[in-house]
């Protein structure tokens, strides 16, 4: 199985909430990790998403957690953050 990992940093200007996380997350930069696997047998390269995870502050001071998130929920949170910044 061929897999690849994509890492990116997203910045939120305002506190936000994601489904599956029982608290509001503070504004700031967050690392997002997406693992994908190669779909075998095609005449072109194509990958299937296995998981999307985000590193977030832990419940206790100076701790962090890696939580599995829904990429569509993450996009919706980014859209809400941008709308707040534009004053909508």
- Cα–Cα distance between 34 and 7 in angstroms, integer? 7
What is the span of the domain harbouring residue 30?
3-86
- Cα–Cα distance between 68 and 18 in angstroms, integer? 11
- Residue position matching structure tokens 């100076």: 62
pTM of the model: 0.86
pLDDT at 15: 97
Q: What is the count of structural domains for the chain?
A: 1
| 8-state DSSP, 17 | -
36-79 pLDDT per residue, tens:
999 999 999 999 999 999 999 988 888 999 999 999 999 999 99
């Amino acid at each position: 199985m061929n897999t690849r990992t994509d890492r990116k940093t997203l910045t939120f200007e305002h506190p936000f909430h994601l489904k599956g996380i029982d608290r509001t997350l503070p504004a700031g930069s967050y690392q997002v990790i997406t693992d994908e696997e190669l779909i075998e047998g095609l005449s072109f390269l194509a990958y299937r998403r296995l998981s999307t995870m985000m590193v977030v502050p832990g419940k206790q001071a100076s701790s962090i957690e890696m939580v599995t998130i829904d990429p569509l929920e993450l996009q919706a949170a980014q859209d809400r953050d941008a709308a707040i910044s534009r004053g909508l």
